[in-house]
Amino acid sequence: MRLRNKPWAKDMINDNLDLIAVQPENMAGKWQDRFEKSQPLFLELGSGKGGFITELAKQNPQNNYVAMEVQEGAIALLLKKQVENKLPNLQLLLANGSNLTDLFAEGEITGMYLNFSDPWPKTRHEKRRLTYKSFLEQYKTVLKDDGYLQFKTDNQGLFEYSLISMNNFGMKFDEISLDLHNDETLNQNNIETEYEKKFSKKGFRINYLKAHFNN
């Protein structure tokens, strides 16, 4: 969902370039330089307003996190949170996920999160889905050999498509749930996104999976 333009966004971004990368083309292999400590690196692709990744970074100070978002308005709201929190293990990235291998080095990332990605339901838009094979190829490149991909969506069609796409790509599934919030085991450590809270209250089932590439 595209947010309205935030007139103050550009100034906030320009005033906090220690917290957000806006020219990341030369960052591949150097992301640890932006953190206080070198620690396992995790990426959320499409962070929205940042509720998930901010809480994840708070709960796991032993890891470093990059919140990546293409919408300037959305990442500006996330940046507001980070200016307040100043979490040393969280960096923001304003960029398009279609060129992920230009932004991260091979094997640089330990784990990836895809939360409530745009389903692009029309067949002609299949290549834009973040679980399409061309995206999976990029994820495989930037993830470590033992790295993983975690995916959540309320869209049943996208979830079914993603299961098939990942299976055809040779990925192995570690965890799957068609109703995450009613799964006592898997939901125990679940951190909800803003979108997830809103739509689960309306009765939408949350689909979840965790998978890895068969290297």
Burial class (CB in 10 A: 0-12, 13-18, 19+), 206: buried
Show which residues are catalytic: 118
> Token pair for residue 45?
């692709």
Residue appearing with tokens 């940042």:
50
What single letter denotes the amino acid at residue 19?
A: L
* CA of residue 69 relative to chain centroid, distance: 8
Rounded to 10 degrees, the C-alpha dihedral 168/113/102/22 comes to: 150
CA distance 171 to 168: 8
Helix then strand then coil, in percent of the chain rounded to 5, is: 40, 20, 35
- Determine phi and psi for 63, rounding to 5 degrees: -120, 160
Which two structure tokens, joined as six digits, stand for 94?
């304003």
